Each structure stands twice: as structure tokens, then as C-alpha cells.
């Protein structure tokens, strides 16, 4: 039986990026109950097509009309991926189903997901992503993150809100491990602004240009010293290969929910590793379900940089999972239980559920 639940959970603090401000996390959770096992997935889409073209409505539609039917009979993520290839794009919808099938398999084999999918370090270095806010507010958030022990601090910027905030952070916090994420806010006419950021010795600048402008990123990479990290631009092995061949990338932010799931994330990690591209695992404000998948991937040996895997307790006063992640001196550990090792708190889920039921009637 395959169920879905769309929930709307308030964020402790609104999260502002160049593409909008999120006050709640509208998450689409998938639940597979079969052979005495309950497996979970989470679609990383939101209510609107702002970060990418997919959103909750399209994802649920794809899952109901196509992807749900591909889950049976063998419930195997690899064969699911093969069958799902005939559906173009919609990697976020596919990812949620694929990841749920990995959780199912790991639970069937009675192994925690981080150990089941590859070579695990059993923990991961944790960074934080801080949304845009008035300068004093943002400086206070950076200060708290430094005190809490985060190993890398990333701040959101946009065209017109960039150099000043970076300068203030450097003045106040010295040479902390600092990066910025523009979420596609700049164009090819803005290279002069981006060149000016070199002097702040950022760990990298994430996704400055539009997602489909790989050539623009390649041109920019030659003009700046700051390493270039791609997020939105990389959705498949082909886009990663193109970025590498064009020399448009130094560092890759892998979000399993963006790239079609676990298999694709693992392939990307290998390709990045072979080509000297740094890798870290990003996030999409996931609940404890999606977070647990991200942390399992971030614990893989091939991931050598701290990612956006701050604990779910940072975003939600109360989450839909019973378990919460804790960070200890900048490190976070995957859950001990089988699969993703977290369970839904159904009682709470019902209070935040907007819509739910069977995927296929
Ligand atoms: O670009 O990395 C991003 C959140 C939502 C959408 C896009 C992004 C983000 C983040 C937050 O930066 C990462 C997290 O989940 O903690
Ligand atoms: Mg990003």
C-alpha cells in the first residue's frame, strides 16, 4: 500500500532566498507499507515552482499517474530507475519514490541506510545555510552558528545584497569557513560584481547564474578566483558531465531530492571524485524524513566537505518524525535504526496534514 501525506509545518524562522521567502515547509511525504515494513520518502518540492520548475502539485500528479505504478512488483530502486527513465524530467518526484525504495530495501536487509548504500564514516561534518535578513539579524545568526560549532557557514545573497553583508561578516568573524549562495540571482552582465567578491576568500560561490547557463558559469569561472559551486544546474549525470567538460564547476552540491535520488547521487559522487570536483550534500528544508536520507549520504566516505545538513530541530519546533537529529561539535550522525531510522509521528502528522490518502485508488 502506497500512501501520501501533504503536511504544512511552520518554520521557527522564515527562510529568505533570492527566489522567495518560506514561512512554512509544505512537504509531500510518501509511505510504503508492504511485507511488514514501513518505508518513507519525501518530495523536496514546495507549493510554488520557485527553486525549480517542479512543485507539489506536479510532483503528486506524476506520482499518482505514473511513478506509483512503477513501484510494484519488486520494489527495487534500480529497476524503478530503469522504468522511470521513460518519463522525462521531474527528478524531484522520481527522487522521492526512489529514495523510499532504498529505505524499503535497507529495512528488508536490516541495515541502516548509510551503511547499506556504500562506505560510511558513521558521521558527517555539518554546515548551516542562513537565509537573508537585515544585516544585524544576519550577523547575529552567523554568531550563533559559530558558537554552535558549525563547520561551514553559508549565507544567502542576491544581486544588490552581497558585498556589504560579506564584508561585515568577515570584519566580525574573521576567517571562518564562509560561502555564499545566490540561487541564480545574477546574469552575465554582473561579472564585475562577482569579481569584487574574490577578496573575501569565500570557500565558494554557489549557483550565481541561471540554472541553464552552464556556458556562462564556464566564462565566469575563468574570471574569478573564488571556487564555483553548482546546485540547481546539475540535475543529471549528463548535466554534471557537461559542466565538467566545459570547466564550469569546482564544487558540487548534491541534493538527492533534486537529482533523482540515491543511485544518481552515488554516481555523481564517483564522477566528481574522479574529476577532482569537491562534493557536499545540500538540503531543501526537509523534515526529519528527507533529512535522514541527506545525512546518510553525507556520511559517505567520498563526501569530504561539510554540507547543509543542520539538524531538523533547527527548522521546526515540532517535526513530523519522532526522532530528531542532534549536532555535536559540528558533527552529526545518521540514525542507528534500519533504513533511515526515523518514524513518523502519526498523531502530530494528522494535525499538520493538509491532504492525504492512497496514491493509487
Ligand atoms: O539553494 O541550497 C539551496 C533551501 C531551500 C531551497 C534551496 C536551498 C536551500 C538551502 C537550505 O540552502 C539547506 C537546508 O536544507 O538546510
Ligand atoms: Mg543552493
The answer, yes or no, to whether residue 163 has pLDDT greater than 90, is: yes
Q: Omega of the bond prior to 163 within 30 degrees of 0, cis?
A: no
Catalytic center residues: 156, 255
- Name the band, by pLDDT with cuts 50, 70 and 90, for residue 360: confident
For residue range 55-70, list pLDDT tens digits in order: 999 999 999 999 999 9
Return the residue whose CA atom lies nearest to atom 8 of ligand 1.
284
- 150 Cβ closer than 6 Å to some ligand 1 atom: no
- 310 Cβ closer than 6 Å to some ligand 1 atom: yes
Return the residue whose CA atom lies nearest to atom 5 of ligand 1.
284
Tell me if 80 sits within 8 A of 70, measured CB to CB.
yes
What number of helices (H) and strands (E) belong to the chain?
Answer: 12, 14
pLDDT at position 175 is 97
Kind of pairing between the strands at 37-43 and 20-34: antiparallel
- 308 Cβ closer than 6 Å to some ligand 1 atom: yes
Q: Which ligand is nearest to the CA of 298?
A: 1
- 129 Cβ closer than 6 Å to some ligand 1 atom: yes
Which mutation among 14, 20, 128, 129 tests ligand 1's pocket best, with the greatest number of atoms within 8 A of CB? 129
Kind of pairing between the strands at 331-332 and 124-125: antiparallel
The answer, yes or no, to whether residue 73 has pLDDT greater than 70, is: no
Interval between CA 284 and ligand 1 midpoint (Å): 4
* Residue 191 burial class via C-beta count within 10 angstroms: exposed 0-12, middle 13-18, buried 19 and up: middle
Where in 288-337 does DSSP place strands (E)? 327-328, 331-332
Separation of alpha carbons 196 and 29, rounded Å: 42
Amino acid at each position: 500500500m502506497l500512501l501520501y501525506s501533504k503536511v504544512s509545518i511552520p518554520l521557527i524562522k522564515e527562510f529568505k532566498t533570492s527566489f522567495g521567502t518560506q514561512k512554512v515547509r509544505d512537504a509531500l511525504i510518501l509511505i510504503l507499507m508492504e511485507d511488514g515494513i514501513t518505508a518513507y520518502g519525501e518530495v523536496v518540492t514546495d507549493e510554488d515552482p520557485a527553486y525549480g520548475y517542479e512543485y507539489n502539485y506536479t510532483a503528486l500528479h506524476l506520482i499518482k499517474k505514473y511513478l506509483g505504478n512503477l513501484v510494484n512488483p519488486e520494489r527495487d530502486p534500480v529497476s524503478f530507475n530503469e522504468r522511470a527513465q521513460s518519463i522525462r524530467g521531474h527528478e524531484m518526484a522520481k527522487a522521492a519514490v526512489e529514495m523510499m525504495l532504498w529505505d524499503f530495501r535497507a529495512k528488508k536487509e536490516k541495515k541502516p541506510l548509510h551503511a547499506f548504500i556504500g562506505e560510511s564514516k558513521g558521521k558527517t561534518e555539518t554546515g548551516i545555510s542562513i537565509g537573508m535578513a537585515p544585516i544585524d539579524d544576519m550577523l547575529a545568526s552567523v554568531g550563533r552558528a559559530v558558537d554552535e560549532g558549525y563547520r561551514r557557514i553559508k549565507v544567502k545573497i542576491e544581486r544588490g545584497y552581497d558585498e556589504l553583508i560579506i564584508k561585515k561578516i568577515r570584519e566580525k568573524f574573521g576567517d571562518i569557513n564562509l560561502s555564499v549562495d545566490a540561487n541564480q540571482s545574477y546574469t552575465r552582465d554582473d561579472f564585475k560584481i562577482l569579481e569584487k567578491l574574490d577578496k573575501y576568500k569565500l570557500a565558494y560561490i554557489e549557483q550565481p547564474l541561471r540554472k541553464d547557463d552552464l556556458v556562462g558559469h564556464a566564462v565566469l569561472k575563468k574570471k574569478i578566483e573564488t571556487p564555483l559551486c553548482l546546485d540547481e544546474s546539475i540535475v543529471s549525470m549528463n548535466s554534471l558531465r557537461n559542466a565538467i567538460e566545459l570547466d564550469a564547476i569546482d564544487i558540487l552540491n548534491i541534493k538527492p531530492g533534486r537529482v533523482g535520488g540515491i543511485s544518481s547521487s552515488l554516481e555523481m559522487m564517483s564522477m566528481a571524485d574522479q574529476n577532482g570536483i569537491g562534493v557536499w550534500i545540500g538540503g531543501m528544508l526537509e523534515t526529519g524524513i528527507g533529512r535522514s536520507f541527506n545525512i546518510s549520504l553525507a556520511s559517505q566516505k567520498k563526501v569530504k566537505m561539510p554540507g547543509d545538513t543542520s539538524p531538523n530541530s533547527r527548522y521546526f519546533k515540532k517535526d513530523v518524525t519522532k526522532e530528531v537529529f542532534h549536532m555535536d561539535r559540528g558533527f552529526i550522525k545518521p540514525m542507528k535504526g534500519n533504513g533511515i531510522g526515523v518514524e513518523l509521528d502519526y498523531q502530530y502528522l494528522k494535525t499538520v496534514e493538509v491532504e492525504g490518502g492512497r496514491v493509487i485508488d
